[in-house]
Structure 1
Amino acid sequence: MHILIKYIVVLLTLWCATLCAQENTSPLTLEYCLETALKNNLDLKGARLKAGSSGINYRQSRADLLPGLNGSYNLGVTNGRSIDPYTNSYLDQRLTFSNAGLQLNAVVFNGFRLLHTIRRERYSMEASEMEVQEARQTLILEITLAYLQILNSRELLKQAKAREVTTGKQLERLRILYDEGSGNPVDYTDMQGQLALDRTAVVEARNALEVAVLDLRRLMNTDDGVPANFTETGLAEKTAAYPHSAETVYRDALASLPVLKAKELRLDAARNSVKVARAAFIPEVSVFGELNTNYSSAAEFLKESGSSVTETGDFVSVDGQEYPVLREETRFTGESISYNDQFSNNLSSAIGVAVSIPLFNGFRARNNVALEKIKMEESRLDLENTTLELRQAISQAHLDMRSAYDRYHILSEQVAAYEASFRVNEVRFNNGVSNIVEYLTSKNNMDNARIALANARYEYMLRVRVLDYYRGI
């Protein structure tokens, strides 16, 4: 039984290891990288949060059109001399008091400040939404370029390893000849130096690949290990001539790029900020209403409890006899007024119209208008500068694309020529007809041409995707 349990544990361990190996060796597609980056990238998350804040500000600016309604309530105790809120008379005793109120205020006119504020916040919200799209498109481009860089680095590493293998085989052949005493020692040592050079190229190519993978992981914002077996699925190779001119790309960019739309909306928001600042010169008209009541522990009402006859202190004389003057007085006893009765009996209301006229505020309104005008001009310059930089960037990217395209086709012919030359020199060197200098020269020419061709191929693909990004694709 114990042996059976150990056997099951071993099988489960091997099964889990197999699953992990399959998971780690599964190809990493461009689509997966894009999905992960769009979900995890911090810059994109920040742009979305900013857009959320702009949306809240816009909704609040619309809510500011509604009247303001506020209630108040307080309850307290005073000792010593104070004013009775019920009778407005002075008291010198312990007093419990309470007040309650309801205030309504609505702006009727304030120079359209609220309307201009709503427009400004709406433009700001739409600009933030465009900036989210811009961040998303930029991230997609960066992920695609980083992925292409990995494929290029992987291709260069593959070529470097192939060169190392080829050189190693030649070195082994020369070592056999050298051991047999029929080979040239200089050829053997030169080939050793070439092998060391090829190994160094492998190390540098592997380091470049690892750096490219780290850049991709940074954009994806993931701590998971990124496998090295990338696939070109989702990346259609583009080596045909690019059909669009720089001017066509620029016109498409003006119509589709979110960054330009965002700058235009920021300029519209700045224009409305100037109008908001100018509203400070215009009187504000509002209506208000109030409902108030109060309570005092000293408040009481007098209740009739009977009558009594008392002397007034005056006398009347009748036949020389003085009689005191009497009067009948009604007796009253004080009773406290309940809390609810006081709140009901002491209700008071008020309605009215308020006008606030700006006369002088230390030139604050004028300076605010001047500052908003400066910000508006800054937004205008930002838009113009972005448009200018966009035209220059598109022109440069188009020139780089054409240069890479021309280099790719020229280098393709060069590689074919150097490969044919190397095949001849390799046969001649193996047969002892040519020397090692000719062999290494031919080999290095072919290897360098292949490297240049791979770089030109991927550079052309990069430039095409940059131009497609400008076109909004």
Structure 2
Amino acid sequence: MKTPRTQFLRQVAATGAGALLLSVATLPAAAQTTPPAQPPAGTVPAAAPSGPYSLQRAIDVALQNNLTIRQQQLTVENTDAVLRQSRAALLPTANASASQTWNYGTNVDPLTFQFQDQTTRANNFSAAANLNLFSGFQVRNTIKRNQLDYQAGLSDIEKSRNDISLNVASSFLQLVLAQEIVRTNEARVNSSQQQVSRTQKLLKAGSVAESNLLDSQAQLASDELNVITAQNQVAFYKLQLTQLLNLPSPTGFDIEVPALPDPDDEVTFTANPDGTYQTAVGLMPEIKAADLRVQSSMRTVEVARGAYYPRLSFGASIFSGYSSARIGRKLTGDSTIVPSGFIYQLTPTGPQPVPGLIAGILQPRFQTLPEGFSSQVKNNLGKQLSFNLSIPILNGLQVRTNVQRSIIGVKQSELRAEQTRLELRQSIQQAYADAVAAQRRYAAAKRQTEALSTAYRNAEIRFNNGLLNGTDFNIAKNNLYGAESSMIQAKYEFIFRRKVLDFYEGRGLSL
């Protein structure tokens, strides 16, 4: 997919120099009559600071207020949260749980596992921890992939800032051009008014025909219409620029008109597009973002391949509980003698019981009571340690399919990176070709203007002396104005192309 910057430069190349700066239909996609995305409800754009705007100030305000950049910043923050979560996957997991239940009617005691027919209350307490010892290096590769995605997101923000800066610079120069065209057309109106006044005097003196006056008045009306058209262009470009800056209204908005040199004041433009491209490859954030996503897709392959390996984890848990049905025995302090049999004595005939004597066992007495809560929790304490090994054997070829899909993803990322480089090279080549063509066109238009100025002065003298009709005089006048307009358009196109190439070489946007 072509970037807005590439679409803009391609569109300019297709429409030509004059259409670039004067036609609304050839504006870049980001700077069309469609206004930028408006702030959400409840958000009030920053008020326009007082004083005229320089180009740098306009760029700074646009970068501060642009909502697309804010949205991308939130996206990067979300990616950062994903990165932190993947790092936290290296830590063990630990969870604790507790429950309390009441059992009615026939039920199984949760601790004695005996059937009983009584209402009981039971408490269960447990804590468990698990540590991933090995999972095919998936966690490590996931962390590295998320780091690359986070860095690519930062580069995306920088690219958006560059696109906004270029759009603001384009609109700023278009506004400067429109203001200069207004001044040129106003000068033409003033010249036409003077011409009408002179023609009226010559008509009264009988030096010229009435048709000459009518032609001069028609030319004056055309020039006044051109002034209105140019003023509308100024209002449009001013609105466009304030929308790029996300300002509430163009009312009171003004710009500083910089002192711009003529293209022929500079030496012949001989930039090296290949050298500019090599410099831009190392500077442009879209190239860095594309390369980072290629590396990220490679890590995705490693994550998918990690599912081929066994998984080993270590776990530990502790458990205890309480049941109201559990009973215990408690010494009462008393004891009793329990008969255990007769006492025997040896006689010649064998052992004989001794009459009147019975053997007994002294046995303490116990009291059966429900066992207490703390005692049960202590006595029912259980611990467990475990190692868990999972070996993948056959899972419907899911791992293999995921690996194949991730490899295809790498190839797609590589193609997108190559496409990004191609678009950058073509944009630089187009900007260079347009700059050279604009400089040459300016020089030719300047020579044409000088020649037509001489022809216009000669036509004016002949017209004032009645030797030239009004139609031919207006043709000479309009030819001169057309040459002047072409010269102004070529001047500003050359300036913009030069600034685009300077931008690609890392020199920033300044006038």
- Asked if these proteins are the same fold (TM beyond 0.5), I'd say yes
Residues 359 and 59 of structure 1: CA distance in aligned 2, closer, same or farther (over 3 Å): same
Instruction: Look up the match of 1:274.
Output: 301
Q: Indicate which of 79, 83, 101 corresponds to 1:54.
A: 79
1:418–1:442 contact (8 Å) kept in structure 2: yes
SS at match of 1:359: coil
Query: How many Å apart are 1:238 and its aligned residue?
Result: 7.1
1:108 corresponds to 2:133? yes
* Distance (whole Å) between structure 1 residues aligned to residue 167 and residue 402 of structure 2: 41
Q: Which segments of 5 or more consecutive residues in structure 2 lack a partner in the other structure? A: 1-47, 341-358
TM-score under structure 2 length normalisation: 0.80
Contact residue 28 and residue 227 of structure 1 kept, 8 A: no
Matches within 5 A, 1:51-450: 51-178=76-203, 183-225=208-250, 227=252, 229-233=254-258, 237=261, 239=263, 240=266, 241-305=268-332, 306=334, 332-450=366-484
Aligned amino acid, residue 213 of structure 2: Y
* Residue-by-residue CA offset, 1:153-177 (whole Å, 9 max, x unaligned): 1111221222222222322333455
Select the residue among 478, 496, 499 that pairs with 1:462. 496
CA distance in 2, matches of 1:211, 1:460: 22
Change (3 A) 1:228 1:455: farther
**CA separation in 2, counterparts of 1:181 and 1:424?**
21
1:10-25 → structure 2 map (5 Å cutoff): none
Quick one: which amino acid aligns to residue 296 of structure 1? Answer: S
Percent identity between the aligned chains? 30
Extract unaligned runs of 5+ from structure 1: 1-22, 313-324
Aligned residues: 442
* CA apart distance, 1:466: 1.5
Q: Do 2:213 and 2:470's aligned partners in 1 also have CA atoms closer than 8 Å?
A: no
Contact kept? 1:25, 1:229, Cα under 8 Å: no
* Distance in 1 (alpha carbons) for counterparts of 2:216 and 2:372: 112
Encode CA deviations 1:171-202: one digit per residue, 9 max, x unaligned. 23334555677652211222222222222222
Distance 1:271 1:388 in 2: 22
Q: CA deviation at 1:422?
A: 2.1
Task: State the 1:256 CA deviation.
Answer: 1.2
Structure 1 or 2: more helix by fraction = 1
Deviation digits for residues 402-428 of structure 1 (CA, Å, limit 9, x no counterpart):
000111111122222222332333233
Task: Give the C-alpha shift of residue 290 in structure 1.
Answer: 0.6
- Secondary structure at 1:225's aligned position in 2? coil
Residues in 2 aligned to 1:352 and 1:310: alpha-carbon distance in whole angstroms: 49
> Deviations 1:279-300 (Å, cap 9, x if unpaired)?
1111111111111111222223
CA distance in 1 between counterparts of 2:49 and 2:204 reads 45
- Please state how far the C-alpha of 1:440 moved relative to its aligned partner: 1.0
Q: Whole-Å Cα distance in 2 between the matches of residues 26 and 428 of structure 1?
A: 48
When the two structures are superposed, what TM-score results if normalisation uses the length of structure 1?
0.86
Q: Is the 8 A contact 2:104 2:119 kept in 1?
A: yes
Q: In 1, distance between residues paired with 2:375 and 2:210?
A: 121
Distance 2:230 2:217 in 1: 20
In structure 2, the residue corresponding to 1:86 is in which secondary structure?
A: coil
What is the deviation of 1:118?
1.1
**Paired amino acid for 1:295:** Y
**Equivalent position amino acid for 1:437 in 2:** T
SS in 1 for 2:393: coil
- Given that 2:102 and 2:121 are in contact with CA atoms closer than 8 Å, whether structure 1 keeps it comes out as yes
| Aligned partners of 1:70 and 1:103 also within 8 Å | yes
Equivalent position of 1:9 in the other structure: none
8 Å CA contact 1:242–1:464 kept in 2: the answer is: no
Q: Is the 8 A contact 1:257 1:471 kept in 2?
A: no
Shift in CA distance, 56/24, structure 1 to aligned 2, threshold 3 Å: closer
CA displacement 1:310-357 (0-9 Å, x = unmatched): 999xxxxxxxxxxxx999986543333333332222221111211111
Contact conserved, 1:213 with 1:226, CA < 8 A, in 2? no
User: Does the CA-based 8 Å contact 1:141-1:465 persist in structure 2?
Assistant: no
Amino acid in the other structure paired with 1:146: S
Q: What is the letter of the counterpart of residue 391 of structure 1?
A: R
> Post-superposition shift, 1:367?
1.3
Kindly provide the amino acid, as one letter, of the partner of residue 117 in structure 1: T
Secondary structure of residue in 2 paired with 1:286: strand
- Note the aligned Cα RMSD (angstroms): 2.8
Give the Å deviation of 1:430.
2.9
Mapped partners of 1:271, 1:167: distance in 2: 70
